[in-house]
């Protein structure tokens, strides 16, 4: 029988239990990944120090323009991503309408032009929202 996602209490026990073997963490990480629950998957892969899973999530973060997912992956890997990676994420975030994520990514990359572009788009969108209210 295939494993199912645990309830929140069991999840906490598995994730933070001192005796949970890395293989179990990786297995649950894959289950969360299959369900599209990337923020849960990154925690399981990170605690297991499972680089392959973290790199798979890195590609998802870049594809989705997800700043926080990429940032968390970097923390688990103990690596700082180069500016080019953050710029790539910033541009993708702009394409999918995640302007706040884009602003953060361009800030990480120290990309003044990208940062300006994201801030202008945020101001435009928020101005439109306020005008409707």
Can you give the residue range of the structural domain that contains 43? 1-79
Whether residues 11 and 69 fall in one domain: yes
**Based on the domain organization, do 13 and 71 belong to the same domain?**
yes
In this structure, are 11 and 47 located in the same domain? Answer: yes
pLDDT band at 130 (very low <50, low <70, confident <90, very high): low
Chain segment 74-114, per-residue pLDDT in tens: 999 999 999 999 999 999 999 999 999 999 999 999 999 99
Say whether both 34 and 21 belong to one domain.
yes
Same domain, 70 and 86: no
72 and 95 together in one domain: no
Q: What CA–CA distances, in Å, run from 70 to 51, 103, 117?
A: 13, 14, 21
Position 1 scores a pLDDT of 36
Total of domains in the chain? 2
4 and 33 in a single domain? The answer is: yes
The answer to whether residues 69 and 98 belong to one domain is: no
The first and second tokens of residue 43, run together, are 């925690």
Q: Could you tell me if 8 and 70 lie in one domain?
A: yes
pLDDT tens for each residue of 20-78: 999 999 999 999 999 999 999 999 999 999 999 999 999 999 999 999 999 999 999 99
Residues 58 and 99 in one domain: no
């Amino acid at each position: 029988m295939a494993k199912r996602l645990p309830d929140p209490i069991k999840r906490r026990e598995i994730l933070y239990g001192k005796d949970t073997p890395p293989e179990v963490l990786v297995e649950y990480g894959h289950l969360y990944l299959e369900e599209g629950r990337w923020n849960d998957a990154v925690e399981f892969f990170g605690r297991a120090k499972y680089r392959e899973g973290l790199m798979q999530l890195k590609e998802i973060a870049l594809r989705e323009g997800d700043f926080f997912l990429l940032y968390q992956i970097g923390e688990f890997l103990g690596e700082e991503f180069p500016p080019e990676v953050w710029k790539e994420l910033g541009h993708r975030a702009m394409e999918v309408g995640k302007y706040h994520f884009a602003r953060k990514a361009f800030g990480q990359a120290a990309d003044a032009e990208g940062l300006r572009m994201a801030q202008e788009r945020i101001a435009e969108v928020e101005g439109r929202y306020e005008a409707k209210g």
